Amino acid sequence: MTVGVLTPHSAPGPEVELPALSEGRMRTVVVRAGSPTQLSASTEPSALEEAARIFRSSAVDVVVHASTTTGYLIGADKEALLVDELARLCGVPALASCTAAVSALRAGGAERVQLVHPPWFTDVFDVLGVEYFQVHGFQAVATRARDLPDDPTLVEPHHVIDWLDRHLQDKTDGIYLAGNGFRTAAAVDELKQRTGRVVVSANGALLQAVLSSSH
């Protein structure tokens, strides 16, 4: 299966974790548009049309907009419109990071969610993240792993596991490891065992959504 990935971020994320999580059964075609300081640029018509041209020529099976912070910024309604437009332009199923996370958390039965944000998120995204999940009916609290490496390439699974050992919120039944450049998928199984919670990573949620879209 070939997955088209549209993202405003330079840090490798889905193109690393989707092939790894699928044991090589997925490959990705990545289009970068905008930047972390211009997130909405990756949702503009010109960016979507250019991405669709590349994805159609690459014969992708599904398209994902991979940016948790963009989903937070534009909100649930505009994210749904973004997905619809990508599907129309590309002629294949389309998905987005935050909607995929919502589906994965719901599938696990979570209602009270701890958002674990990487250190490169800002206060604004902590607030927007809580608002996003509240719109979808979750109780949510945002926590930022400030003492993890600020470089996405230096974050290891044990960093995330050790951080949550110290900062797990008592009244939550779900954990969302937010950020597609926050490569945390390898920490998920250990965190499930240690915490007894539903644990969802950004790219793990995308994987589940991609697999569901193909059935």
CATH of domain 2-97+204-213: 3.40.50.12500
Least confident of 32-36, 67-71, 142-146, 203-207: 32-36
Give the list of residues 6+ apart from residue 62 with CB closer than 8 angstroms, or none.
1, 3, 4, 92, 93, 94, 95, 210, 213, 214
**What's the confidence (pLDDT) of residue 126?**
96
What average pLDDT score do residues 184-193 get? 94
- Of 124, 123, 113, 121, which Cα lies nearest the Cα of 148? 121
At 72, the pLDDT band (50, 70, 90 cuts) reads very high
Write down the pLDDT at residue 214: 72
- pTM to 2 decimals? 0.92
Query: Do 2-97+204-213 and 100-202 have matching folds?
Result: yes
Mean pLDDT of the residues in the chain: 93
Place of tokens 């987005």: 96
pLDDT at 34 over 80: no
Is the pLDDT score of 184 beyond 70? yes
pLDDT in tens, 73-130: 999 999 999 999 999 999 999 999 999 999 999 999 999 999 999 999 999 999 999 9
Average pLDDT over residues 177-205: 94
Q: Would the pLDDT of 202 be above 70?
A: yes
Do 206 and 91 touch, CB atoms closer than 8 A?
A: no
Task: Please report the pLDDT score of residue 215 as a whole number.
Answer: 61
The structural domains of the chain, with segments of one domain joined by +, span: 2-97+204-213, 100-202
Q: Is the pLDDT of residue 196 over 80?
A: yes
Second-level CATH architecture of 100-202: 3-Layer(aba) Sandwich (3.40)
